[in-house]
Amino acid sequence: MKRALTPGTFDPITAGHLDVISRAAQLVDELIVAVAVSAKKKPLFSLEERVALVKEVTRDLPNVRVEPFDELLVDFARRMGAQAVVKGLRAITDFEYEFQMTALNYQLETLFIMSTPQHMYLSSSIVREIASLGGDVSQFVPPCVNEALVKRYAELHAAQ
Residues belonging to the active site: 17, 41, 90, 124
Half-sphere exposure of 130 toward its Cβ, with a 13 Å CA cutoff?
Answer: 15
Q: What is the DSSP string of 91-160?
A: SHHHHHHHHHHHHHTTTSEEEEEEPPGGGTT--HHHHHHHHHTT---TTTS-HHHHHHHHHHHHHHHHH-
Question: Which are the contacts of 29, defined by CB distance < 8 A and separation ≥ 6?
Answer: 1, 2, 3, 63
Is the separation of the CB atoms in 8 and 34 below 8 Å?
Answer: yes
Question: Which are the contacts of 41, defined by CB distance < 8 A and separation ≥ 6?
Answer: 9, 11
Identify the helix (H) or strand (E) that includes residue 54: helix 47-58
